[in-house]
Structure 1
Amino acid sequence: MAWVYLSRVVEGPCAALSALIESVGVVEAARAVRECALPETLRGPTEARRGMDCAERDLAVMERIGGRVVTPDDEEWPAWRMLGLSQLDPSVDEGAAVPLVLWVRGPRSLAECTEQAMAVVGARCSTGYGNQVTGEIAGELASRGWTIVSGAAFGIDGMAHRAALAVGGATIAVLACGVDRPYPVQHDRLLAEIADTGAVISEYPPGVTARKHYFLARNRLIAALADGVVVAEAGMRSGARNTVKWARRIGRPALAVPGPVTSAASVGCHRMIRESEALLVTCADDVIDEAGPLRLSLPGAVPPAPEDNLSPEEAKVYSALPQTGSRLPRLLADQANLPLPAVRAALSSLELSGLVGCDANGWYRLATQPRSPTSTR
């Protein structure tokens, strides 16, 4: 009850209150706020709502919508994810504070589903190109067991969530308002789908409406909950750059997908790459290479690479095929930089090898079993 009360009093990050809780405990901190027995730094932030004790009502609302409140005392609190924020200096990084609580809708444990997570963000006014690369990268990451974290906004955010849902993967939507208020309203159904299988979360109590500065605070949580941030498409003034800023400050890799040099929707990505704010990535493999766990070869282990014995043309075509989805031969020819007849011949050989298949949508990879490492004595 003390956690919930304080969450309503400050509505968002408050480094001074977090420090007080760390010093005297949450129950004593709540008493001090109620009685205004506070240091000067906390009187201003708590003055307007310290008499507003809606804890019971807030918990009743969450119970009615099938949600819950997760506090730092709970097992599912993503403690190690929050370490990055806790190491920042609030006097330098305004708003750099660990959230008091997280309001959650969805069955997923926050600690478990953020063990391996990637944030995918970008422009609200996305293009067809941006939607395509977002769907491919987010879909492939989700199919490999990565949780996709984003902000449920129009454009790239929504596409990232949908791509994860399409492959049966996990996804987390971080809102800048109460989890009982779908934002944007047009994503009501999308957020309901995410809440059914993943998690919709916010640091703001139920009923709180979105405000401009809440989105900036929300971005730090998107960065903190993931192993890295991928910007799939962004204009010059895209808010995705703010998420990249937070990622860099807490030591997470920032990655950006290049687009057509004539596209205003990719100017932000190009600028971040040129100014070394983000690393260039073009596919899920690039993302995992930069932000995934360190992969070392073990003595005696044979890596499960199905293309080891392929010809150069077959290897190019196989590499051009996505981990999920299909491709037509002409598109594969463009991506592999090979003549169309050579691509068709390579596909036939790959099919005989049991590596690819074909349906009405085009050619696709078949699941392969890793080879067992050779035993040694």
Structure 2
Amino acid sequence: MGVPAGAEGLDETRIARAALTRLIEPGDATGAMIVAALGPTEGLRVATGSQQIDPAIEARLRSVLIGRGAKAWEGVAAAVERWRSRVPDLAPHRDLETIARFGGRFVIPEDSEWPDGFGDLGEQAPHGLWVRGEEHLPSQRSAVAIVGSRNATNYGLSVAGEISKGLVDRGVTVVSGGAYGIDAQAHRAALVTDGRGLPTVAVMAGGLDRYYPSGNEQLLREVARRGLLVSELPPGGAPTRHRFLRRNRLIAALTGVTVVVEAQWRSGARSTAHHAADIGRVVAAVPGSVYSASSAGCHRLLRDGAAVCVTDVQEVYELLAPAGEGLAGEREGHVAIHDGLAVEDFLLLDALPVKRGAGIDSLSTVAGLSAAQVRAGLGRLQLMGLCQQTAGGWRKTDKGGSAK
């Protein structure tokens, strides 16, 4: 527990921040103020009750709490008492060893790769980020959040996939929450292209020692392999409703633009949009049918003037790119036959084997499409000469090549 004073060879700041992520709930303003006033190492000792608040410490705390009123000061003592039950479970060395076993690391504000956008969160910024994946965390200037309903419609999934793939093709990182529906489609579409740089980041609401939700395990494994999984919770941290809601502020801060594809009247996606607006980020929403409850939240954002209306990837890219760079114009370079494919067909083409054929059920699992979508897609790809049916099932033709 805590940080061993004077321990040789130990990064005390990193160890202290690792302990703080287990001690203090995400977004706890009192904990953030203690760390802001005292620093992570001394702040941890005060927060755990192992160091008394003497007059000098009290003065430093009060300097941060000026203007917050008496209740803020009373909250410090109450918070220390509130955290007391967690103190025996603090084991930052173990947590750091655990994330290392998974091929990950713990990134702190003192590191050069700390996301530049987190400065806008102020006291709501995380104490550190647990990360799985080899790439560096992206800059907000090169990342877009795509969020939406877990109960997405085919329309929403199609639009989310098209925008996600198009952004990664342009060198933009797609950030989402790893959940079912729009989130999963955004990650999945980002991974079927060899765009420049980091394709996608999934911001999780629990520890990175397990994949949640379990139904997205294979997808999240691929995100960890080719992109990044990040969380402000240490290994073993359980994903709770509160933590899902607090996670949304990180998605907003990591990115320059937040795009809501589908959202019901009250939804987590709208929560992310509001966090983005609060810290000065651009918010965009995709319109849907006026009869669809899945688009009611998007229409509410648009009606209230809280979001810009977007209908395709180019309109999203224009919101992120420096002035003039994202404007519509002729695209340079060779146009491959794959460029004209709808995202469902691209996912299906990517799932098709090159040599041995695959059946409908297998392709449905790999591509993340329904059996009906697979059958329809195979018909379209066959007409284009990109796939063929053999005795063993369906496979790519030489013309289909590799979709990656």
Q: TM-score, normalised by structure 2?
A: 0.70
1:101 aligns with 2:115: no
Matching residue within 54, 77, 83 for 2:119: 83
Matches of 2:18 and 2:341, distance apart in 1 = 48
Which residue identity lines up with residue 200 of structure 1 in the other structure? Answer: L
1:14 aligns with 2:28: yes
- Which stretch has the larger CA shift, 139-148 or 20-29? 20-29
Deviations for 1:14-60, whole angstroms, at most 9, x for unmatched residues?
22222222222221112222315356423424233133321111112
Match of 1:103, SS state, is strand
Matching residue within 324, 327, 330 for 1:305: 330
Q: CA 1:322/1:132 → structure 2, altered by over 3 Å: closer, same or farther?
A: farther
Number of the residue aligned with 2:223: 194
Deviations for 1:74-110, whole angstroms, at most 9, x for unmatched residues?
12111x2112111xxxxxxxxx610001000011111
Match of 2:130, SS state, is strand
What are the within-5 Å matches in structure 2 for residues 181-260 of structure 1? 181-260=210-289
Pairwise CA RMSD of aligned residues?
2.5
Matches of 1:11 and 1:306, distance apart in 2 = 47
Which residue identity lines up with residue 124 of structure 1 in the other structure? Answer: R
1:116 aligns with 2:131: no
Matches of 2:289 and 2:339, distance apart in 1 = 24
Number of the residue aligned with 2:95: 58
Matching residue within 34, 46, 58 for 1:32: 46
Number of the residue aligned with 1:42: 76
Number of the residue aligned with 1:23: 37
Matches of 2:194 and 2:86, distance apart in 1 = 42
Number of the residue aligned with 2:110: 73
1:294 aligns with 2:303: no
Deviation of 1:323 after TM superposition, in Å, equals 9.5
* Count of matched residue pairs: 303
Number of the residue aligned with 2:169: 143
Number of the residue aligned with 1:178: 207
Matches of 2:339 and 2:90, distance apart in 1 = 50
Matches of 2:317 and 2:325, distance apart in 1 = 14
Matches of 1:244 and 1:304, distance apart in 2 = 29
Query: Which ranges of structure 1 fall in alignment gaps of 5 or more residues?
Result: 87-95, 298-302, 308-320, 328-357, 363-377
Matches of 1:323 and 1:262, distance apart in 2 = 34
Kept in 2: contact 1:177–1:204 (CA 8 A): yes
Deviation of 1:259 after TM superposition, in Å, equals 1.1
Matches of 2:306 and 2:91, distance apart in 1 = 42
Number of the residue aligned with 2:152: 126
Q: CA 1:296/1:162 → structure 2, altered by over 3 Å: closer, same or farther?
A: closer
1:165 aligns with 2:201: no
Kept in 2: contact 1:59–1:68 (CA 8 A): yes
Matches of 1:40 and 1:55, distance apart in 2 = 28
Deviation of 1:115 after TM superposition, in Å, equals 4.2
Q: Which structure carries more helix by proportion?
A: 2
Using the aligned pairs only, state the percent identity: 41
Number of the residue aligned with 2:312: 283
Matches of 1:296 and 1:143, distance apart in 2 = 15
Q: TM-score, normalised by structure 1?
A: 0.75
Kept in 2: contact 1:104–1:202 (CA 8 A): yes
Match of 2:261, SS state, is strand
